[in-house]
């Protein structure tokens, strides 16, 4: 790059604006592209019938009961969005210390997966693996003597993965950040004949404040305290550590990896793509969604342009796909252009 710059002629012979002047050259010289194929829509599900609940922290995003989710999924499929990621909101009375509903094959998520898959077998269905929607303390893992116990948590995550895979989801997405869980989940899936179920692991997930609105959405914000997950989620200061996490997950058998949050961590996506050349998904999380949503509602930025700009940024950085709450809207925008 440096060489090219120093050896190429300068202004006025070189005019960078020439390629930007014509529609054709702008199109042809584009270095990355965003398409509907890149998008994954996260969806929140809640028990009941005919329910669609608004979420205060995430305007325009709803929690749907399984029958209502089907209607939204129909829209998603008609827009040709390739996949969804499901997250449950569990009633407080059904939560316990060990998050036992997570590994009950009749739970809300398994029921929803079976329903969606029976109607839309070709839509990719990704299920989160972590205990936080199910535990009364709101942590992703099992609390033993006030500590999140890695190895006991893995046993629960394996059981959760198996019920979800048996319900028919295409991919298991562990978002818990326990050590060694990808390998344990792969072994368990294989031993049950679920060799085709993919693992899309959150390899580098940071302890981020940008998850705030999500925690309201799934009701995991226990006791009005902000839960400290920093004993398992990563320190935002670290990048080398993310590369180690990613390399471990790839070696343990992940089929794709997720980097999360998105916009504050574009350097991690870029670096991981350069180092591993492996399918990387960006997760544009709830706080990023709310930020863009609110500032555009205030009229300070253009909603559509800002959404598309934020999404192409992930592609430019090196992600092959994006989990984003804007997916439905973005797909509509992309269809119209």
Contacts (CB under 6 A) with ligand PBG, residues 96-125 = none
Out of 38, 44, 132, 319, the only residue in the binding site for ligand PBG (CB under 6 A) is: 132
- Give me the least distance between CB of 266 and ligand PBG, in Å please: 17
For ligand PBG (CB under 6 A), the number of binding residues is 11
- Give me the least distance between CB of 335 and ligand PBG, in Å please: 24
- Part in contact with ligand PBG (CB under 6 A); list of ranges 99-107, 109-117, 128-136, 161-169: 128-136
- Give me the least distance between CB of 136 and ligand PBG, in Å please: 15
Return the HEC string of 239-291. CHHHHHHHHHHHHHCCCEEEEECCHHHHHHHHHHHHHHCCCEEEEECHHHHHH
- Give me the least distance between CB of 24 and ligand PBG, in Å please: 39
Continuous H helices in 120-210: 150-167, 181-191
Out of 73, 148, 285, 317, the only residue in the binding site for ligand PBG (CB under 6 A) is: 285
CA distance 170 to 173: 10
**C-beta of residue 73 within 8 angstroms of C-beta of residue 116:** yes
Contacts (CB under 6 A) with ligand PBG, residues 182-241 = 211, 214-215, 229
Q: With the C-alpha atoms ordered 63, 156, 287, 283, is the resulting torsion angle positive or negative?
A: negative
- Between the alpha carbon of residue 92 and those of residues 24, 58, 146, the distances in Å are 56, 20, 21
Out of 89, 95, 140, 327, the only residue in the binding site for ligand PBG (CB under 6 A) is: 140
Whether 224 is catalytic: no
Across the strands, what pairs with 204?
259
- Beta strand 147-148 with 256-260 is unpaired
Out of 128, 170, 245, 252, the only residue in the binding site for ligand PBG (CB under 6 A) is: 128
Q: In the complex with ligand PBG, which residue's Cβ is closer, 110 or 127?
A: 127
CA distance 215 to 271: 29
Whether residue 261 is preceded by a cis peptide bond, meaning omega within 30 degrees of 0, is yes
Residue with tokens 């793509």: 273
Q: Which residues contact 174 (CB under 8 A, 6 or more apart)?
A: 129, 130, 157, 161, 181, 182, 185, 199, 201, 202
Q: In the complex with ligand PBG, which residue's Cβ is closer, 178 or 188?
A: 178
Q: In the complex with ligand PBG, which residue's Cβ is closer, 229 or 315?
A: 229
Whether 205 is catalytic: yes
What DSSP assignment string belongs to 95-134? -BTT-GGGG-TTSHHHHHHHHHHHH-TTSEEEEEE-STTT
Residue with tokens 């989620």: 233
Out of 175, 198, 254, 310, the only residue in the binding site for ligand PBG (CB under 6 A) is: 175
Q: Does 130 bind ligand PBG (CB under 6 A)?
A: yes
- Give me the least distance between CB of 2 and ligand PBG, in Å please: 39
- Give me the least distance between CB of 119 and ligand PBG, in Å please: 25
Among 68, 205, 229, 315, the one annotated catalytic? 205
- Give me the least distance between CB of 100 and ligand PBG, in Å please: 17
Contacts (CB under 6 A) with ligand PBG, residues 286-315 = 286
Q: In the complex with ligand PBG, which residue's Cβ is closer, 130 or 281?
A: 130
Q: In the complex with ligand PBG, which residue's Cβ is closer, 153 or 175?
A: 175
Q: In the complex with ligand PBG, which residue's Cβ is closer, 9 or 85?
A: 85
Q: Which residues are catalytic?
A: 205, 260
Q: Which positions touch ligand PBG (CB under 6 A)?
A: 128, 130, 132, 140, 175, 211, 214-215, 229, 285-286
């Amino acid at each position: 790059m440096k060489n090219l710059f120093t050896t190429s002629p300068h202004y006025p012979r070189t005019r960078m604006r020439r390629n930007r002047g014509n529609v054709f050259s702008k199109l042809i010289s584009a270095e990355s592209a965003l398409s509907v194929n890149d998008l994954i829509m996260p969806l929140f599900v809640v028990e009941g019938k005919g329910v669609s609940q608004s979420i205060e922290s995430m305007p325009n995003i709803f929690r749907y009961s399984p029958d209502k989710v089907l209607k939204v999924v129909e829209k998603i499929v008609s827009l040709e969005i390739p996949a969804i990621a499901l997250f449950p909101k569990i009633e407080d009375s059904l939560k316990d210390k060990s998050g036992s509903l997570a590994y009950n094959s009749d739970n809300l998520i398994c029921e929803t997966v079976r329903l969606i898959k029976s109607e839309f077998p070709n839509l990719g269905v990704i299920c989160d693996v972590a205990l936080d929607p199910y535990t009364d303390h709101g942590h992703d893992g099992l609390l033993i003597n006030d500590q999140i116990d890695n190895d006991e948590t893995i046993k629960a995550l394996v059981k959760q993965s198996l019920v979800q895979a048996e319900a028919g989801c295409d991919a298991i997405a562990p978002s818990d950040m326990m050590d060694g869980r990808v390998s344990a989940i792969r072994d368990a899936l294989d031993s049950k004949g679920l060799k085709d179920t993919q693992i899309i692991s959150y390899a580098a997930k940071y302890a981020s404040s940008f998850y705030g609105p999500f925690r309201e959405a799934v009701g995991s914000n226990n006791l009005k305290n902000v839960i400290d997950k920093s004993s398992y989620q990563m320190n935002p200061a670290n990048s080398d550590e993310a590369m180690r996490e990613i390399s471990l997950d790839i070696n343990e058998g992940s089929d794709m990896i997720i980097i999360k949050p998105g916009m504050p961590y574009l350097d991690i996506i870029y670096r991981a793509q350069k180092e591993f050349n492996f399918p990387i998904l960006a997760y544009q999380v709830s706080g990023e969604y709310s930020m863009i949503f609110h500032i555009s509602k205030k009229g300070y930025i253009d909603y559509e342009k800002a959404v598309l700009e934020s999404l192409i940024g992930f592609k430019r950085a090196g992600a092959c796909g994006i989990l984003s709450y804007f997916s439905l809207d973005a797909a509509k925008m992309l269809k119209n252009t």
